[in-house]
Amino acid sequence: MPELNGILLMNKPEGFTSHDVVAKLRGMLRTRKIGHGGTLDPMATGVLPIFIGGATRAADFAAAQEKEYIAGFNLGFCTDTQDTTGQILKKSDKKASPTEIYMAVKSIKGQQKQTPPMYSAVKIGGQKLYDLARKGKEVERPERDVFVAKSELVSFDDQMQCGQIQLVVSKGTYVRTIIHDLGENIGTYAVMNSLVRTRAGEYKLNECVDFETVQNAANEGEIQALLHATDSLFLNYPAVSLTDEGEERAARGAVLFQRHTQNGFKEQQNELYRVYDKQGFRMLGQIRTLDKGGLALFVYKNFR
């Protein structure tokens, strides 16, 4: 039986960590060469790209791509986890108006600094913050730069003081921290009560499958049919096809020149290319400067 290879788009169920999903699929697919591209909290559901076989080498690229979410929130209290799974720390009687919420959500957009929450997998001094938090410890956390490309109010219930926002954010952004800060910005408190990742990079929720679908495909020996090709992660990069000589050079990791490709490439420093041979997608190549001068296509990431 050929080795599975590709990207499985899972609709992560609530209550599972990303690691739980990988562990369950490892048993269902009977493979150890498997990983995920971008952590989701147990509360969250939605798009979780799973990388299988040679595609595992692409997982770090998926983690770095922007993500889109629909997040639910409650106003009037805050918790130690910044969501409704935690212990309530403070309450406020302030009632926010729809206009206040709309303006506050709109102001979230753009470049900003964010302090990771204590209940997170960020490591400080070799220890994960959530391990320290569970021991009742709080430590200084360095701020990180995050970018919010989109921030829109989806709904708001004036009476219940709850609603939903849509966000498109950069790698490493904590949505529950955005909601926590949103509460402070309008003079009250806020917690996240739900989170759905609707997009990861170019992968959308309607492309995802659940465990039952995977199990049925496994029973029928049709798992490969569920997998997206590894190069589907890189369709925004231009493609080049190798000549026979180019294939031989790529196989030993040598640099490639225009004559080693069938369709040529634009010689622009640091440009990334999808590189194909007769067997299909082989690697990502990058245009770099040679020691002796001039530009060539170097191996950036091999997927064979």
List the single range of 117-121, 176-180, 203-207, 266-270 with lowest mean pLDDT. Answer: 117-121
Tens digit of each residue's pLDDT (9 = 90 or more) over 210-249: 999 999 999 999 999 999 999 999 999 999 999 999 999 9
Among residues 179, 200, 221, the one where a domain terminates is 200
Question: Which tens digit of pLDDT belongs to each residue from 22-64?
Answer: 999 999 999 999 999 888 989 999 999 999 998 999 999 998 8
In a domain, 283, yes or no: yes
pLDDT score, position 38: 80
Please report the pLDDT score of residue 41 as a whole number: 87
Shared-domain flag, residues 73 and 188:
yes
Residues 11 and 128 reside in one and the same domain: no
Q: Please indicate whether residue 157 is annotated as part of the active site.
A: no
Domain that holds residue 190: 67-200
**pLDDT at position 96, please?**
96
CA distances from 118 to 42, 189, 193, 214 (A): 16, 17, 18, 35
Q: Which two tokens stand for residue 193?
A: 């009560």
Alpha carbons 246 and 239: distance in angstroms, whole number:
14
Confidence of residue 123 (pLDDT cuts 50, 70, 90): confident
pLDDT attached to residue 121: 66
User: Do both 246 and 297 map to the same domain?
Assistant: yes
pLDDT at res. 232:
96
β-strand pairing of 295-302 with 34-36: unpaired
Q: Does residue 22 fall inside a structural domain?
A: yes
Indicate if 49 and 158 belong to the same structural domain. no
Judging by DSSP bridges, how do beta strands 190-200 and 45-52 pair with one another?
A: parallel
Residues 85 and 166 in one domain: yes
Quote the pLDDT of residue 133: 63
Burial of 49 by CB count in 10 Å (0-12 exposed, 13-18 middle, 19+ buried)? Answer: buried
Q: Which residues have CB under 8 Å from 1's CB, separation 6+?
A: 221
Do residues 27 and 116 share a domain?
no
Are residues 184 and 94 located together in one domain of the fold? yes
* Token output for 160: 């219940």
Q: What's the total number of domains in the chain?
A: 3
Q: Which residue has the tokens 């709080």?
A: 138
First to last CA, the chain: 18
CATH number of the domain where residue 102 is located: 3.30.2350.10
Q: What is the CATH number of the domain that holds 243?
A: 2.30.130.10
Is 1 part of any domain? no
276-287 pLDDT, tens per residue?
Answer: 999 999 999 999
Q: Are residues 147 and 218 in the same domain?
A: no
Per-residue model confidence as pLDDT tens digits over 79-101: 999 999 999 999 999 999 999 99
- Judgement on whether residues 79 and 186 belong to the same structural domain of the protein: yes
- Selected catalytic residue, list 41, 83, 231, 277: 41
Long-range contacts of 256-264 (CB under 8 A, 24+ apart): 256/285, 256/296, 256/297, 256/298, 257/296, 257/297, 260/297, 261/297, 263/239, 264/240
Q: Are 131 and 177 members of one domain?
A: yes
Question: How far, in Å, CA of 66 to CA of 208, rounded?
Answer: 17
pLDDT at 12: 97
